[in-house]
Amino acid sequence: MISPHKRSQYQQHALRILQEQVQTFASIQDNPQELMDELRYLFIGIDACPHDAIFIETRLQLINILKDMPVRYGMSDQWDDLTTYALQTTPSDDAYHLGLLHWIKAKIAYDRVQRQKARDWISTAWGYAHQSKNPKLIGDIAQTFCSSLVYHFGEHENAIDMIYQAKEAISELNTPVPYRLDISLADALRRLGKIWQARRILETMAEKWLTPHLPMREQAIILHNLGLMRWVDGAYATAQSNLQTAAHIYEDLHELATACGAYGDLGLCLWAWGKLQQAETVYNKAIRLAQKAGDAQREMKLHGNLGLVYMSKGRLDEAETYILAHIQRAETLDSPREVSRARGNLAQLAMYRGNPHNSLPYLQEALNAHQHPNEGRGNDLILVCICHLHLGNRDQALNYLHEAYKTCDEGEHTILPILVYRAAAECYPDQAEAHLTYALSLAKQYDRRLDMVGCLLKLAQICHNDDYRIQAHNLLQEMGAEAWLNYGEAPLLPLMI
């Protein structure tokens, strides 16, 4: 039995250690290796501290210094508990710290795919941020709010309004608007199909902010988002360079969850480019990093994306294994948007195997999840079109094809027209050669190798031209996708952005 005096001594000793840690964190917060080493011992003695006024103040100082850093280093559970207790003791008139604490809680809920909880936390944080008149807090919270609206609820217009509100509030405080708000703005614009506008915003932002004097983590954030937008716009070589550099920086900084996200996006770029062997290698690395970081959300998505790589290689059984894992993990994490996306990929698999009846409901479900004229909706329109065509519903197929044409006209799309003209060749056999020739010219312009093969095999079939077939076989061999030749003379290769 420990005496009250002895217990008090232990508590005061634990508090002194915490105070020393706070001073240490303040001095090393820009050194990722030292920070990670020190964070290992952060939570060991906190429970032993006395819950007096000095501890409450020290804990708030700690949160103020570290903010969301423990979340980035895989310590969400402990940091969640600490911020929960801190909220209970923060004065109701301390708008800055209440905003900060609610923002941290929102980020944790967002990472856990707790959609409504994240939205509730961030909505409250947004109110406190305005009261605090702290420009950095306003910017950070607006960016997280935007991500929640875009990725969890598909409310892209509301996200754009949020960013403009934040820009106005920060400008009124005579403070430069942070570059991250432009990143969020570009992301939301892309989801509305305004890819070229989004790319211009990011490239203009990068010209201003991306200098050798910028901290490495900030450079990685800009390069990561710039690479994503360039990938979507078909600039694969520059996108690969941007994403690879960003991923390496994150990994060097020991931010494993962020690194695996960047590697995952690099995998998407390589996959879209037709560099399937490299994409497979990158995804396997990203999955290992996600497992090491304990990031279930990213691991879920990576399984689905690796399934797409195997589908593109024609290795459909392996693709099915990973796509089913994607569905199971998405259901476990209660992420209906990811479940819909994964089922859409499984439906494509059934269609390529010659089972369009099993495909249509899930392809339609995936299409219904995209309400804006972006590349996701355009892609799903093409897939539903082809599925109806295989079911013998030509009139319905043409309706979806014409809407895909309209999506190209309404948005700013570089890659989608390639898929539209490939689908048009299926729907209008008498005009197939012209549509395929144009699609092939676009695919060559952007080095879309899988689309090039799809066009070449069809052209070889309808024109009886062995040169086309030889070119296609050489490309399939280069991509490690020769398995497609097991599915007929001119298989319908994946129509995916």
pLDDT digits (tens, 9 = 90+) for 63-103: 999 988 887 777 888 899 999 999 999 999 999 999 999 99
CB-CB neighbours of 395 under 10 Å: 7
Phi-psi region of 473 (alpha: psi -120 to 50; beta: other; left: phi over 0): alpha
Res 67: pLDDT: 87
In residues, how long is the chain?
A: 497
Cβ atoms of residues 293 and 257 within 8 Å:
yes
| pLDDT score of 317 | 94
Q: Are the beta carbons of 150 and 187 closer than 8 angstroms?
A: yes
Single-letter residue type at 288 = R
Q: What is the pLDDT of residue 372?
A: 78
Q: Of the candidates 163, 167, 139, which has an alpha carbon nearest to the alpha carbon of residue 149?
A: 163
Phi and psi for 171 in degrees, rounded to 5? -65, -40
pLDDT at site 32:
72
Whole-model pTM: value is 0.83
- Predicted confidence at residue 495, as pLDDT, reads 73
- Residues 6+ positions from 193 with CB-CB distance below 8 Å: 372, 373, 374, 375, 377, 378, 407, 410, 411, 412, 413
Identity of the residue numbered 365: E
**CA-only gyration radius of the chain, Å:** 25
Residues with pLDDT less than 70, the chain:
1, 497
